[in-house]
Amino acid sequence: MFEKIRLAAACAAMLLALPAAHAGRTCEEGKPSVQAIERGLTLAERTAAALDASGQRVVILARAGQDLTKYGLRYSHLGYAYQQSDGQGGHVWRVVHKLNTCGTSESAIYRQGLGEFFLDTPWRYEAAWVVPAREVQDKLLPLLQDNVRAATLNTRAYSIVSYAWGQTYQQSNQWALETLALAMEPSATTRERAQAWLQFKGYQPTTLKIGPLTRLGGRATAANIAFDDHPNEKRFSDRIETV
């Protein structure tokens, strides 16, 4: 557990400087409580300790920002966590991920510490990660450290249910998957090529069953929900394929 003085200082700083962006969580007005910040920082500390003990340099890190259990999903958002030198002989963990600007249909790529990553008032204070093969880590690490390369396949237009094989919109986990393709296949410098690589490797997107009333309600009330990029034959049979 953090020392009380250290934690109080961190809480005060975070209350003043939380970003107005989100992914995999709700986008509600208001600052998080001190208790929520403490829980987020505690989760970040425990995650850092576990990642240090793993001996890995790059992992795919997931958080539970929203309750998606009715769709059979436990986690809602992921990013790439990687080790970075702290300039003093040690290291820190950074997370590169895509976030939607609150209340809009736009997004950007962010680089954050673990504390920031877990300070979004998640539905459940829980983390999970997948360890890529060493060869994959070796290819991902230099890409993640390069701002230009990390944003190569980013599409600003954002939809939380963007079509897995479309290029009109892009949600956060879709960016992560397509960026993995770019790391493994340097010629995959467009989203179309990255998706072709994923299809070649056998990737299959998640299929959500979302009826017309839910689709209509979501599109009418949120700027970051769109279904017009999905093929008609799938959309009108309530099959939404997304990442």
User: Is residue 132 a contact partner of residue 59, using CB atoms and an 8 Å limit?
Assistant: yes
User: Is residue 57 a contact partner of residue 83, using CB atoms and an 8 Å limit?
Assistant: yes
User: Is residue 121 a contact partner of residue 239, using CB atoms and an 8 Å limit?
Assistant: no
Give the predicted TM-score (pTM) of the model: 0.81
Could you tell me if 122 and 218 lie in one domain?
no
* In-domain check, residue 141: no
Total tally of structural domains belonging to the chain: 2
* In-domain check, residue 40: yes
What integer pLDDT is reported at residue 19 of this predicted model? 42
Of 132, 160, 181, which marks where a domain is finished?
A: 132
* In-domain check, residue 139: no
Could you tell me if 84 and 174 lie in one domain?
no
Mean pLDDT value across residues 27-38: 75
Could you tell me if 107 and 1 lie in one domain?
yes
Could you tell me if 108 and 164 lie in one domain?
no
User: Is residue 162 a contact partner of residue 242, using CB atoms and an 8 Å limit?
Assistant: yes
What integer pLDDT is reported at residue 122 of this predicted model? 72
What integer pLDDT is reported at residue 28 of this predicted model? 58
Mean pLDDT value across residues 224-235: 91
Greatest alpha-carbon span in the chain: 58
Residue 16: pLDDT band with limits 50, 70, 90: very low
* In-domain check, residue 142: no
Residue 215: pLDDT band with limits 50, 70, 90: low
Residue 3 lies in domain: 1-132
Residue 214: pLDDT band with limits 50, 70, 90: low
* In-domain check, residue 79: yes
Could you tell me if 92 and 180 lie in one domain?
no
Could you tell me if 211 and 239 lie in one domain?
yes
Of 64, 97, 132, which marks where a domain is finished?
A: 132
* In-domain check, residue 140: no
* In-domain check, residue 138: no
Residue 71: pLDDT band with limits 50, 70, 90: low
Mean pLDDT value across residues 16-21: 41
Mean pLDDT value across residues 48-72: 87
Could you tell me if 14 and 121 lie in one domain?
yes
* In-domain check, residue 196: yes
Q: Which residue has the higher pLDDT, 98 or 21?
A: 98
Of 40-44, 52-56, 115-119, give the range with the top mean pLDDT.
52-56
> Token pair of 110, please?
């962010």
**84 strand-pairing partners:** 92
Mean pLDDT value across residues 189-195: 99
Could you tell me if 97 and 13 lie in one domain?
yes
Residue 33: pLDDT band with limits 50, 70, 90: confident
Alpha helices in the chain (DSSP H): 4-17, 34-54, 114-117, 134-144, 147-150, 172-184, 191-200, 212-221, 232-235
